Structure 1
Amino acid sequence: MKNTSKTSPKVLISGGGTGGHIYPAIAIADEIKRRLPDAQILFVGAEGRMEMEKVPKVGYPIKGLPISGFDRSDMKANLKFPFKLIKSLNLAKKIYKEFQPDLAVGTGGYASGPMLWIAGKNNVPYLLQEQNSFPGVTNKILKNKAAAICTAYEGITQFPQEKVHYTGNPIRGEIFQNLPSKAEAITVFGLDPEKPTILSVGGSQGSRAMNNAWLENLDEFVASGVQLIWQTGKLDYQKIKNLVGDKYPTIHVTEFIYNMKDAYAASDAIVSRAGAMAISELCIIGKPTILIPLPTAAEDHQTKNAEALVTQNAAILVKDAEAKQKLVKEVIALANNEDLKNKLALNIKQLGKPNATKEIVDILLNLL
């Protein structure tokens, strides 16, 4: 047995493919380093995916594996999958031998599969962090050898219940700590602090369905007297910016929002996709929310995430296919219904887990 130091453990963190897997991993790493500055942390991701760029940017080393996911739309592409898997497992063995980890963490996505599998084979205790209400394939494969599984939703029956800890998702603390007042925040967007304001966020790429729903009903929306902070994403930004221009002073169009703290503080209600990390932030912010799940998300997990809130009267769900007809009507109705706004805000806030990162790291370090 290795002589493990409790003040300077070696921790392997693996996961990626999307921001929903990467940002929780970084939040966990930051909390480990905050408590144990001498801890050594190594990330393992998938070559060519966003973690290979995002992780070094925040100061952690990362190694890439040639693994890729199973492509349901192109069966031919999957012929290479077995070879990539074998190559990734061999490389994971090499990384394990060189780094000799004391603990491992998997935050989901196919990137975490080979590395966590090798860690388990070598009796390294590992923790899985599942962001969604319906577990991904990789975490379902890795569940049996996991020492602990931290979930963001209660009642996930696909995992061995004796290993499950309902912690919530790890969120970057700076997003929800010391929020400015609406009056302060709204000046950033050049809008009127007296008017009801909606924040619409379609993810980093933007959401065409959401953008089209706003475009289709723009005049009806503007006539209602409600303001809009509209994050369009890259694809439609220029078209929307040209169209809105100075014609609609109650609409602020932006490709990407870097300071989510101001955006959350400036808004009275929020329209969002239903990714796990977005929902976790929304629960902590505690504003009335309309969710439009992305229907093409793996195993339709965004719909399941949204439904988990709807059953607790903590959000309104509008289907992607019905957004053009329903979104703006739902938004206007919500903006003018104080009782409904208060009820949704109260219920979503109760689902917030602001101490998730701390709890997950407590559980992880107890495995030493």
Structure 2
Amino acid sequence: RLEAEVFPGNGFPFFAVEVRGLQRRLTLANLAVPWLVGRAKRRLVSRFRDAGVKASLCVGNYVTVPFGWAASSLGIPFFVHEQNAHAGLANRVAQRWATKTFVSFHDTRGLSDQVLTGNPVRAPFVEFNRQELRAEALTRYGLDSRVVTVGVYGGSLGAGAINEAVATMVAEWSGPSVQILHLVGSRNIDAVAEFAEKAGVARRTIGFEDRMELFFAASDLVIARAGGGVAEITATGTPSILVPGGFGSDGHQEANATALAEAGAAVVVQEQELATLAEIIGDLAADHEKRKTMVRAALAYARPGAAVTIAKKLMEAASD
């Protein structure tokens, strides 16, 4: 898993425990879950003692339950961080042991005793400045500074539906002048090549981008899923058209998208309504004042200093 490489690579010890979540259907596999949780809790208690842990944080995966249970049994301050507007099951269960719950959205559903911290973003987004990056970004992608740029990315899951809808749309485009910056994913670059040749608007298709701050700096508007990436959308103050994915079982992306739409920072388009993209993009591309209003709303929602805020609270708890 990624964390098994990232943490040791940055000088932090990595310790893994085996645990899995409940399946949302009747299955014999669920019978093993309580035993796995109990075993994981015992291993974590031993590890916490050996390491002299003073404070702890979990971010809502399966290990959160035994992790919080172990920390609580040792009197170690335990914090939960929820990235979505609707808390996942693990965080809802583990909050019983939590000193505080950190949330990314106002009035996150399913959690009590909330502290609004926002969702941590990577360093380039903490002090993001579109004006400083704009020229470099447009040059990188070969885009025209005089034309509205629509950035498109579907995330690591569920990019297919968005890619296909956008590819079809640009082949038939008859709206105002726009250019498309389409991050399709390395696996999908060949699949959309045929559509790119038929595009009725200028279109730059890329498979992978390791400097997403430049992608946002080039984009006047983005089309995206509504997962954890919305933190980067708000941190950059980018107007967005959000297409909630149905991943998971609690409607997390739907809740995230709704929260930003109610704040005035986004327009929500359901996957079955992707045929309306052209009209929505055309309206936003032609309405500069509307986009400016969405920029202000997104920035007002952003918490780019989330990582520092959370780290300070952990350090305070560890020193008490």
CA distance in 2, matches of 1:333, 1:156: 31
Distance 1:178 1:209, change over 3 A: closer
Q: Does residue 351 of structure 1 match 2:301?
A: yes
Deviations 1:236-273 (A, max 9, x none): 22211354259778211122221111111111111111
Is the alpha carbon distance of 1:311 and 1:249 closer, same or farther for their aligned partners in structure 2, counting shifts above 3 Å?
Answer: closer
Partner residue, 1:229: 181
Q: Which residue of 1 aligns with 2:291?
A: 341
Per-residue CA deviations over 1:148-202 (Å, capped at 9, x if unaligned) read 22111122353333xx211211222222435334233111012222211011111
Deviation digits for residues 320-342 of structure 1, max 9, x if unmatched? 1211x112321122111112111
Kept after mapping to 2: 8 A contact 1:105/1:126 = yes
Corresponding residue of 2:30: 78
| Residue 1 of structure 2 corresponds to residue 58 of structure 1 | no
- Count of aligned pairs between the two proteins: 316
Distance (whole Å) between structure 2 residues aligned to residue 150 and residue 315 of structure 1: 23
Answer whether contact 1:206 1:233 (CA < 8 A) is retained: no
Q: 2:268 is matched by which residue type in structure 1?
A: L
79, 97, 100: which one pairs with 1:127? Answer: 79
Q: Aligned equivalents of 1:235 and 1:75: distance in 2?
A: 34
Pick which of 83-92 and 242-251 moved more: 242-251
Matched, 1:107 2:94: no
Residue type of the partner of 1:111?
V
- C-alpha displacement of 1:145: 2.0
Distance 1:55 1:222 in 2: 49
Q: TM-score, normalised by structure 1?
A: 0.79
Letter in 1 for 2:139: T
Match of 1:287 in 2: 238
Instruction: Measure, in 1, the Cα distance between the counterparts of 2:31 and 2:190.
Output: 39
RMSD over aligned Cα atoms: 2.3
Which amino acid is the alignment partner of residue 297 of structure 1? G
SS in 1 for 2:81: strand
| Contact 1:107-1:130 at 8 Å conserved across structures | yes
- Counterpart of 2:164 in 1: which secondary structure? helix
Other-structure match for 1:321? 272
TM-score, normalisation: structure 2: 0.90
Q: Distance in 1 between matches of 2:102 and 2:34?
A: 29
Mapped pair 1:300 → 2:251: yes
Equivalent residue, structure 1, for 2:282: 332
Asked if structure 2 preserves the Cα contact closer than 8 Å seen for 1:206 and 1:231, the reply is no
Q: Secondary structure at the match of 1:332?
A: helix
Question: What SS does structure 1 have at the residue aligned with 2:313?
Answer: helix
- Checking the alignment, whether the CA contact within 8 Å between 2:86 and 2:109 is kept in structure 1 is no
Show the counterpart of 1:214.
Answer: 166
**Secondary structure of 2:226's aligned partner:** coil
- Whether the 8 Å CA contact 1:176–1:261 is kept in 2: the answer is no
After superposition, the Cα gap between the structure-2 partners of 1:76 and 1:230, relative to the gap in structure 1 and judged at 3 Å, is: farther
Query: Would the aligned equivalents of 2:92 and 2:110 in 1 still touch at CA under 8 Å?
Result: yes
Say if 1:171 and 1:354, in contact at 8 Å, map to a contact too. Answer: yes
**Which residue type is aligned with residue 75 of structure 1?**
T
Letter in 2 for 1:284: A
Unaligned runs of 5+ in 2: none
Among 183, 187, 191, the residue aligned to 1:239? 191
Which whole-Å CA distance do the structure 2 matches of 1:178 and 1:145 have between them?
Answer: 36
Rounded to whole Å, the distance in 1 between the matches of 2:11 and 2:272 is 41
What secondary structure does 2:250 align onto? helix
C-alpha distance after superposition, 1:119-161 (max 9, x if no partner): 1111001111111111111111121221122111122353333
Aligned position for 2:229: 278
Instruction: List runs of 5+ in structure 1 lacking aligned partners.
Output: 1-48
Aligned to 1:116: 68
1:235 CA displacement = 4.1
Q: 1:98 aligns with which of 50, 55, 70?
A: 50
Indicate if the aligned counterparts of 1:105 and 1:129 stay in contact, CA closer than 8 A: yes
Structure 2 CA distance, aligned partners of 1:316 and 1:237?
A: 27
Could you say if the C-alpha distance between residues 315 and 284 of structure 1 is closer, same or farther in structure 2, counting changes exceeding 3 Å? same
Does the Cα contact within 8 Å between 1:222 and 1:250 map onto a contact in 2? no
Which residue is 1:364 aligned to?
314
Kindly indicate whether the alpha-carbon contact (under 8 Å) linking 1:224 and 1:332 is maintained by their aligned counterparts in 2: yes
Confirm or deny: 8 A CA contact 1:108 1:129 kept in the other structure.
yes
Q: Residue 137 of structure 2 corresponds to which residue in structure 1?
A: 185
Residue type of the alignment partner of 2:256:
N
SS at match of 1:251: strand
